[in-house]
Structure 1
Amino acid sequence: MAYESMPPPEVCDRARRAKDARFDGLFFTAVRSTRIYCRPVCPAPTPKQQNISYYPSAASAAAAGYRPCLRCRPELSPEVWQRGSDDGVQRALALIAEGALQEGSIEDLAVRLGISSRQLRRQFLASTGATPIAVHTTRRLLLAKQLLTETQLPVTQVALAAGFNSLRRFNAAFVEGCGMPPTRIRRQRVETPDNALVLRLGYRPPLDFAAMLAFLAKRAIPGIERVTSESYERVLGPREASGYIRVTAEKSRPELLLQIADSDPRAIPDIVRRVRRIFDLDADLVAVHAALRESPLLARGIKQRPGLRVPGGWDGFETAVRAVLGQQISVAGATTLARRLVENFGERREPAREGLDRVFPTPERLRDAALESIGLPKSRAATLRALARAVIDGRIDFRGGQSLDSFVERFVALPGIGPWTAQYMAMRGLGHPDAFPAGDLVLQQVLGGDKRLTERETDLRSQAWRPWRAYAVLHLWHLSGELKKGKSDVVR
C-alpha cells in the first residue's frame, strides 16, 4: 500500500541500505522473519529484501504486529510531522503530541479540527498507516521504553510519565506493544553518571547547533535562561517546585542530550516536546531545501548553512511578550527590557539556582501592571496588557493544531499587534513552518538588493517557498549580515 507521507519504495531501499540518517523517522523497516521494526539507520545486518515491508510510522508497524528493535531503538527517531502545518493530519498530530487524546476522545479531537471522526480516521490511515488512538498509544509506549532504557526512574514513575495511571494497565500495554515486560527492558539500561536523568533526542542531520545557540543566546532572558557556546539551560515550573533542564549536543551521533532535574515525571513528555520545538528537531530539511533551492539567493544560504533551522520558544506567551518588547528596537534593547520585566514582575524561585532564579511573569501578573515603569512607551505597555487579558479570556492561545491564517487573524485584532508581530509569534511561539513576516525590513532589503521591496512584493516573492517560508526567513536573516554589514541588528 502506498502512503501519502512515505518516500517511494525505491527511495526507502536506497536509504535503508545506506543507513541514511536523513530519512530517519520518514519510514520504518519491518522484518517479517523476526517480527521487529527498525529505523533506516539500524546497525543490525541488512535483512533480505523478500522479508521486509515499509511502514510510514512506528504506529503503523506496531498495528501490523511488529515490535520495536532493541538495537536501533525507534523511540529515538525524530517525528515525521511538521508542527504548525495547516494540513489536517499534521494539525491533529500536533494536538496529540500535546495530550489531546490523554483525556479527550477521537470525537473531541475531530470537533477541534472541524471534521468528522470518520474522516479523521480515514485521513490518518492514508497518511500514517494507523488510527489516531494507535499513534497516541505508540507514542506513550516508546517514551516509556526510552525512560526504562536511559534513566533509573522506578517503573511506577515511568508509567506515570507515559500517561498510565494504572501499573497493571501499563504492564499489559507494554507487553502487547513491545513483546516483553518493562522489567526486561530495564535490564538493558545503560548506567549514567550520578544517576542523572538524561534523554537522547534524535534528529535528521544536518543541524547547525552552534547557530541555534547563537540565536538563542542573543535573546535569552536573564534569570530564566542561560545559553553558552555549548549548551542551553533553563529553569521551569512554579516558583516553589522549580525544575531545570540543560541541552547539549552529542558529538558522535545526530542527537541532543537533554538533562532534566527536579521535575515531576509526569512533566517529561511536555518538556521533551518543548525542547524539540526550540531546536526544531523534527524538521525534514531534505523537503525544505528542495523547495527553497529554486531561489539562487536561498540556494546560496543553504550551501553556507545547510543545518540552519527555525529556533522556537519555550512558552507561547513568553515568546509573544518578547516579540512585543522588541517592536522597532534592537535585539540588545529588547533583551534589556525583558530583563527589567522579569526583575520587576517575575517571582523569585525558592530554592534558586545560581543565575537562574526567576519565574517569567504570568498573564495575570501583567494584566494590570504598570509596565511603563521599565521604560516601555505607553502604547507598547497597553499592547502587553491587552495581550495578557486576551490570553486570560481565552481569546488567543498557543496550542498546537491552529492554522496560520486563523492564528494571525486573532492576534492582529489586538491593539498594537500587526502582521509582522503575529507572524513572528507564529514562527517562534507556534512553530509554524510557513510563517513569514513580510513586513520585516531586513527581508525586504535582502530580497530587493539595490531596491527595498514593499511588503506586498516581499509576500509575493515568498509564495514559491510554501510551506517552508519560515526557513527562508532564517536564511535571509543570516545572509543579511553579509550583504548589509552593521544593518541587521533588528529584533526578529
Structure 2
Amino acid sequence: MSIHTMPSPTICDRARAAKDARFDGLFFTAVRSTGIYCRPVCPAPTPKRQNISYYPSAAAAAAAGYRPCLRCRPELSPGTHARDNEDAVQRALALIAEGALQDGSIETLATQVGIGSRQLRRVFLSQAGATPIAVHTTRRLLLAKQLLTETALPVTQVALAAGFNSLRRFNAAFLDGCGMAPTAIRRQRIETPAGVLSLRLGYRPPLDFPAMLAFLGKRAIPGIERIDADSYERVIGTADASIWIRVTADAKKPELRLEISGGDPRAIPDIVRRVRRIFDLDADLAQVHAAFAGDALLAKAARKRPGLRVPGGWDGFEVAVRAVLGQQVSVAGATTLARRLVDTYGEHRASARAGLDRVFPTPAQLLDAPLEKIGLPKSRAATLRSLSATVLEQRIHFGAGQRLQDFIDAFVALPGIGPWTAHYAAMRALSHPDAFPAGDLVLQQVLGDGQRLSERATEARSQAWRPWRAYAVLHLWHLSGDLAKEKR
C-alpha cells in the first residue's frame, strides 16, 4: 500500500459501475447499508450511490468501522507505488510493509522517516485516513483472511504468519476487524495439495508476464532460479532449511499464483512482498503511460507493450553483486560470472529439488574471497569485497523507505561503483520507479535515434518522465532490441 491521489467521486462511480480492474486498489467502496467495504471489481449487485462512501485504502475503510467483503476479498487488491520517496508517509508505508511495526514502535518509525511521532500520526490520518498502527493491523488481518480462505494452514499457524504470537489476541482482533471468527472464514477454504500453499496475488492489468519471464530468464542464476516460458521457480532460505516457490499466471484473472513449499509460516509475508516486488504487481501503469504521453517515442513504446513493467530482484545484495558483475560485459557474460560465483562460493542445499541446489553467497563469504579466480578483473573483485564489507557494516542496506539520492550517494562512494551501477541496483533491488542510469549506452543510442546522446542530454530528456523513469528504461531497452531485429 502507498498513498496516492484517490480518483474523483465521478471516476470512482464509473469505475465501480464498469467493475474496471485498472482501478483495483486505487479506492475502496464502503456500503453503509451492509457495513462492508469492497473492491471496484466486486461481483455483488451494485449498491445505490447514496449508500456508499469512497476510501483511499482498506485501512481507512476499516478505521471507519467497515469489514472486508467476502465476495471480492479486499486482501487481493494490489497496492500502489510511492510517487515521492521524499514524503514521510510514503516512506513510512514502505517500512510498515517490511514489518517495521511488527516489533518496532511508532517512535522508531517516525525517527526513521525524520519526523516526530505525533506528526506522523497526524499526517497518516490526513493522507491515509488511518493511523500507522491501523494500517499495520489491517495488513495483518487481510493476510490472515487470505491464508484462512486459500490454504490448509492451522489457525495457530495463520496467526503466527500474520504476526500474532497469541491465538487469543488473534481471534479477538480478527473478530473485531472482519466481523466473524477465523473458523467461520475457514469454512470457505479452497482445498490445496498437502504441503503446498497456493496464494492469489492480484494486480491491475495489463501485465506482460511473458516479457517479465524473458527478462528474468536471461539473468537467472543456475542452481538458484529456474525460469521457463510459463513459470518462475526459486529456492530460498538457508542451506538446511530450504523453501521452494513457484509463480505462474492465471489465464482468466488479473492474478498470479504463488506456490510455497516448506518453511516457517512466519516467512509468508516476506515471501509475498518479495514476489510482488519481482513482478512489479503494485504498478499503476495508467499513471506511467500518462507521463509518457507527451514523448512520441515512449508513447509509441507504451502502445506496443502496454503491460511492460520493471522486474525486481529477490535479494538486494544479490542484485547489487549482479550489477557489479555486469559492468562492461554482456548479459550473458554477467550470467556466466554469476554462475561461477555461486558454484565456487555458494553453499549446497541439504535437501533440494533437482537443479535448485545452491545458496547465493553472503557478504561474509565474499568479504575476503579470492574472486579473481572466477575470471574477475582485480578491480571488480575489489569492488565486490568492498561492497560486502559495507553491507556487513550496515553502511549500505536494501531495505524500504530510502530516498533515492541517499542510496545513490552511498553506493557511488564505493570504489568501482558509478552512477549506472547504483541506479541499476536502485531500479531492481529497491524497485524505485524513478531510478534512471543516464550513462547507459543503449538508452543514449535509442534516444539519439542512432546518434549517441551525452549523459547530460539523456538525463535532461528524462526529466519529463519523472517519477516513472525506470519504466522508460525498460521500454527503451526493448526498443533497442526491436531496432536490432529490423536491421537484420
Q: Please classify the TM superposition score into its range, dividing by the shorter chain length.
A: over 0.9
Q: Distance in 1 between matches of 2:59 and 2:198?
A: 25
Q: Distance in 2 between matches of 1:389 and 1:195?
A: 39
Tell me the residue number matched to 1:236.
236
Q: Distance in 1 between matches of 2:364 and 2:487?
A: 37
Tell me the residue number matched to 1:246.
246
Q: Distance in 1 between matches of 2:330 and 2:272?
A: 31
Q: Post-superposition shift, 1:194?
A: 4.2
Q: Post-superposition shift, 1:484?
A: 3.5
The Cα offsets for residues 341-387 of structure 1, whole Å up to 9 and x where unpaired, read as 00000000001210000000000000000000000000000000000
Tell me the residue number matched to 1:277.
277
SS at match of 1:242: strand
Query: Letter of the aligned partner of 1:14 in structure 2?
Result: R
Structure 2 CA distance for partners of 1:84 and 1:5, relative to 1, 3 Å:
closer
Query: Letter of the aligned partner of 1:382 in structure 2?
Result: A
Q: Which shows bigger deviation, 173-182 or 75-84?
A: 75-84
The Cα offsets for residues 246-265 of structure 1, whole Å up to 9 and x where unpaired, read as 00001110000000001210
Q: Distance in 2 between matches of 1:88 and 1:474?
A: 28
Q: Post-superposition shift, 1:116?
A: 1.3
Query: Letter of the aligned partner of 1:118 in structure 2?
Result: R
Q: Which shows bigger deviation, 74-83 or 275-284?
A: 74-83
Q: Tell me the percent identity.
A: 76
Tell me the residue number matched to 1:484.
484
Q: Post-superposition shift, 1:442?
A: 0.3
1:481–1:487 contact (8 Å) kept in structure 2: no
SS at match of 1:206: coil
Q: Post-superposition shift, 1:123?
A: 2.0
The Cα offsets for residues 184-206 of structure 1, whole Å up to 9 and x where unpaired, read as 00001111244631000000000
1:5–1:127 contact (8 Å) kept in structure 2: no
Q: Distance in 1 between matches of 2:89 and 2:220?
A: 33
Correspondences of 1:365-380 after superposition (within 5 Å)? 365-380=365-380
Q: Distance in 2 between matches of 1:311 and 1:147?
A: 26
The Cα offsets for residues 82-117 of structure 1, whole Å up to 9 and x where unpaired, read as 388333222111100100000111111110011112
The Cα offsets for residues 202-238 of structure 1, whole Å up to 9 and x where unpaired, read as 0000000000000000000000000000000000000
Query: Letter of the aligned partner of 1:171 in structure 2?
Result: N
2:205–2:307 contact (8 Å) kept in structure 1: yes
Q: Which shows bigger deviation, 477-486 or 291-300?
A: 477-486
Q: Distance in 2 between matches of 1:444 and 1:12?
A: 40
Tell me the residue number matched to 1:78.
78
Correspondences of 1:93-492 after superposition (within 5 Å)? 93-194=93-194, 196-485=196-485
2:4–2:80 contact (8 Å) kept in structure 1: no
SS at match of 2:384: helix
SS at match of 1:369: coil
Over aligned residue pairs, what C-alpha RMSD do you find?
Answer: 1.4
Tell me the residue number matched to 1:27.
27
Q: With the length of structure 1 as denominator, give the TM-score of the two structures.
A: 0.97
Tell me the residue number matched to 2:88.
88
Q: Distance in 2 between matches of 1:104 and 1:207?
A: 35
Q: Distance in 2 between matches of 1:398 and 1:486?
A: 39
Tell me the residue number matched to 2:50.
50
Q: With the length of structure 2 as denominator, give the TM-score of the two structures.
A: 0.98
Instruction: Structure 1 unaligned segments of length 5 or more: list them.
Output: none
Tell me the matched-pair count.
486
Q: Distance in 2 between matches of 1:4 and 1:449?
A: 35
Query: Letter of the aligned partner of 1:52 in structure 2?
Result: I
Q: Distance in 1 between matches of 2:4 and 2:438?
A: 31
Instruction: Structure 2 unaligned segments of length 5 or more: list them.
Output: none
Structure 2 CA distance for partners of 1:84 and 1:183, relative to 1, 3 Å:
farther
SS at match of 1:5: coil
1:83–1:400 contact (8 Å) kept in structure 2: no
1:110–1:116 contact (8 Å) kept in structure 2: yes
Query: Letter of the aligned partner of 2:135 in structure 1?
Result: V
2:84–2:467 contact (8 Å) kept in structure 1: no
Q: Post-superposition shift, 1:487?
A: 10
SS at match of 2:266: helix
1:211–1:308 contact (8 Å) kept in structure 2: yes
Structure 2 CA distance for partners of 1:445 and 1:402, relative to 1, 3 Å:
same
SS at match of 2:238: coil
The Cα offsets for residues 124-152 of structure 1, whole Å up to 9 and x where unpaired, read as 22222111111000000000000000000
Query: Letter of the aligned partner of 2:271 in structure 1?
Result: I
SS at match of 2:229: coil
